[in-house]
Structure 1
Amino acid sequence: MPPARADIAVIGGGPAGAAAALTLRRHAPGLAVRLIEASDYDAPRPGEVLPAVARSLLEQLGVMTSFEAQGFVAGRALASAWANDELDERHSIFSAQGPGWHLDRARFDRMLAAAAMAAGVVLSTGSAVRSAAPEGEGWRLTLADRSEVAARAVIWATGRSWRLARPFGARVRVHGDLVAHSRFIDGVAGDNRTVIEARPEGWWYSADLPGDRRIVACMTDPDLGEALALRTDRGWRHALDATRHMRALVPIDARIGGALVRSAGTTTVEPAIGRRWIAAGDTLFAADPLSSRGIVHALRSGILAAYAASDMFDGKEEESRRRYAMITAHGFENYAHALADYYAQGSRWPDAPFWQRRSPLDQQRIGTAR
């Protein structure tokens, strides 16, 4: 069977990939775009809070009306016990940007993909890209169902999966080994707050979700999570009960879902842009959740990647590479300094291993492609 053809194949149908596909259809409607998503948008996804700053990006993508129709709950406040043991609550009514939103991430991602389809993007779901090989000036992609896609350029937006790093000639750089041990709590009416609590073993996070659900997560290092047995129901509950504020959000008789364990540390890919391929979203730069950059960064980088990809077809490939690499490097530098400063403010346990390890991100470790 001959391969399907596209000018640009976007690998990954999350916020970054969908934003790239939508931007391409609006900015360069003459280009044929195919969006390839490994899932069917039916599994839980990390990233539950969308900051208010995302409004301008959703408007730029032309999806604000569709987003508002989803009825996601507006965030009321951020409550944080970070620099000390008391909760410091910041209400959204005092924010110049207004409230953010608490999302059902799978539904949010489906909405973006549907908007891309309505704009003329060809969407393929339920089959991951297993390999990529250079072909002429572009790429030939082989999917899990053995079908193939021939594309003149690729936007690589597979989230925290760097399986394609080797064929693209990219290097994955791991800056921190943070792991999120999360549980969904069902049947708990919330108050539309996001809550953060620093602890010796790391920090805890909770956000209310649509449908009387809540997510509660412990962010810690892999070895510390194993020592606390956070993958087990008993270990996770024992660690939760040791908190001061977080435990009050989970009643004793609450319906607690199974463990969800995901990498959450800072990871980057180098280079950010290569021969007819561009990295975007978490694939480009996976941020520590403490920064609250995840979805906003994904949308913004998807938009920028689309412009860079379009420039490749206008005889500006070298200029596009330089500009995209410069923007990416500048963004990471600002992030690294801000994250180091924020962790320093929360270090109330200087002898605890988790806080001893939170050093500036210029002490980098090279990771392997995942």
Structure 2
Amino acid sequence: MTPGTGDTVCDVVIAGGGPAGSATALTLLRQGASVVLTDPLIADPGRRPEWKLGESLAPRAWPLLERLGVIGRVADGTHTPYFGNLSSWGGTALTDDNFLYDPHGPGRHLDRAHFDRTLFEAACAAGAVRRAHRVRAVRRVRDHWKLMLGGETVRAHYLVDATGAGAGVARRVGAAVRRDDRLIALATRLPPGGTAQQPSRTSLVESAAHGWWYTAPLPDGTSLAMLMTDVDLVAEHALHRPRNWWAGLMATTHVCARVGSGADPAAVRLRIVPAATGRTRPAAGPGWAAVGDAATATDPIAGRGILTALATGVTAAQAVRADASGDREALGRYAERVQAIHAEYLHARTVCYRAEDRWNTRFWTRRHSHSPELADGPGPRG
């Protein structure tokens, strides 16, 4: 290609510096590709949010982190041990799924912002060129992409969308986002001393009439508590109001026992975070691929968000390399693989929700039967 004067030229532009984008970058850099990694929040520390939702990293993620060469960085971080999951689902008793015999040892309760930054910095240290801008426009010009990052023009042979469930870049190049539900999280962080007891180093899930509750300790000593429910139910029952949210939490058995009742409901500050199941179709095309939530976004009950982000990043990078080496079916095979993985997940999700039959409410009846997809459609073309 013949770049314009002053254009930045690279093999791959990756939009999004979360775990999926960083895993893609690390894999491509090991293959000898030149990479521009752009993320306005992670690349510019002054624009990072105060905190992100905590997340638990299961032991099965360790082999992927080792493959990416970052396991030491993660292990040395501010994260705390995660010994398994407790759940009250389909009955009142707690069931225990622990990692006692896992060959990889315990997982980690993550300082999520620190985890994302660790992977991003590892990719930059490996040679990725960082940019603190969103992709403003993208256009296909013969065999390459022409993108606008802030006021900079970048030309690249390949484009990877790691921007999250909105898949804004993939939609710009003609893909469509299909959503299966309108699940959201209403979450807060409870300060140290606000819990009823010293928190167990486990996550805890408990089903309720309008969804399910989750709590887990965070590395900084606070605890995450959140309700997973549907957007319309939030409006109908005013669950976004802290007192109503708190009343729902106090009506639980196990989450209430762990969190306690000493906090002031008026002091609760809720964050509302989209958590819908969805997928991008196709997840790849000529010269581009989507990874992480931009490819397949799953219900948090599956506990596979970070694992999928890392795995799709590695696999997409391998498909890009194969395509560059002349295998013109590689990106198509990657898209088919993402579709198959998402289909397997949808089946597992249905089995999971059908195991809870105590609640004859809309949240649960929706998940006991097949619901039509909600199409966002293709986005604007750059």
The yes-or-no answer on 1:39 pairing with 2:49 is no
Q: List aligned pairs for 1:163-312, cutoff 5 A.
A: 163-188=168-193, 189-254=198-263, 258-312=269-323
**Structure 2 CA distance for partners of 1:330 and 1:362, relative to 1, 3 Å:** farther
Structure 2 CA distance for partners of 1:36 and 1:50, relative to 1, 3 Å:
same
Residue 97 of structure 1: how far off its partner (Å): 4.5
Aligned partners of 1:359, 1:172: CA distance in 2, in Å?
23
1:125-140 counterparts in 2 under 5 A? Answer: 125=132, 127-140=133-146
**Distance change in 2, residues 1:241/1:362 (3 Å):** closer
**Pairwise CA distance, 1:362:** 7.0
Q: Spell out structure 1 runs of 4+ moving beyond 4 A.
A: none
Match of 1:149 in 2: 154
1:45 shift after superposition: 3.0
Q: How many residues align?
A: 364
Partners of 1:172 and 1:250 in 2: CA distance: 37
Farther-moved stretch of structure 1 (202-211 vs 324-333): 324-333
In the TM superposition, residue 150 of structure 1 has moved relative to its aligned partner by: 1.6
Residue 67 of structure 2: aligned partner:
60
Question: Which residue in the other structure is 2:25 paired with?
Answer: 21
From the superposition, tell whether residues 22 and 263 of structure 1 become closer, same or farther in structure 2 (CA, over 3 Å): same
Which position in structure 1 is the counterpart of 2:81? 74
Kindly provide the amino acid, as one letter, of the partner of residue 180 in structure 1: A
Cα shift readout 1:15-62 (whole Å, capped 9, x = no counterpart): 000000000111x21x21111112136323345100100000000000
Q: CA deviation at 1:71?
A: 4.0
Report the residue type matching 2:81 in the other structure. A
Tell me the alpha carbon deviations over residues 113-166 of structure 1, each in whole angstroms, 9 at most, x when there is no partner: 1111111111123x22222121231212223x3323221110111012232344
CA distance in 1 between partners of 2:140 and 2:69 (Å): 34
Tell me the amino acid that sits aligned with residue 54 of structure 1: A
CA distance in 2, matches of 1:100, 1:369: 38
Greater shift after overlay, 280-289 or 184-193?
Answer: 184-193
How far apart in 1 are the matches of 2:355 and 2:281? Answer: 30
- 2:123 equivalent in structure 1: 116
What residue in structure 1 maps to residue 95 of structure 2? 88
When structure 1 is superposed on structure 2, of 43-52 and 203-212 the one drifting more is: 43-52
- Gaps of at least 5 residues in structure 1 are none
Deviation track 1:207-243 (CA, whole Å, cap 9, x = no partner) reads 1110101111101111111223222222211221221
> Structure 2 unaligned runs (5+)?
none
Note the alpha carbon deviations across 1:166-194, whole angstroms, 9 max, x for none. Answer: 42110110111111111111214522110
Question: Structure 1: which amino acid aligns with 2:107?
Answer: G
Asked if structure 1 preserves the Cα contact closer than 8 Å seen for 2:188 and 2:271, the reply is yes
**Alpha-carbon distance between aligned partners in 2 of 1:234 and 1:74, rounded to the nearest angstrom:** 32
Q: Which moved more, 1:305-314 or 1:274-283?
A: 305-314
Of the three residues 10, 15, 38, the one matched with 1:11 is 15
TM-score by length of 2: 0.90
Q: Which amino acid aligns with 1:297?
A: T
Q: CA deviation at 1:325?
A: 2.1
The alignment yields a C-alpha RMSD, in angstroms, of 1.9
Looking at structure 2, the residues matched to 258 and 131 of structure 1 have their Cα atoms a distance apart, in angstroms, of: 36
Residue number among 321, 333, 351 corresponding to 1:323 in the alignment:
333
Contact 1:178 1:222 in 2 (8 A): yes
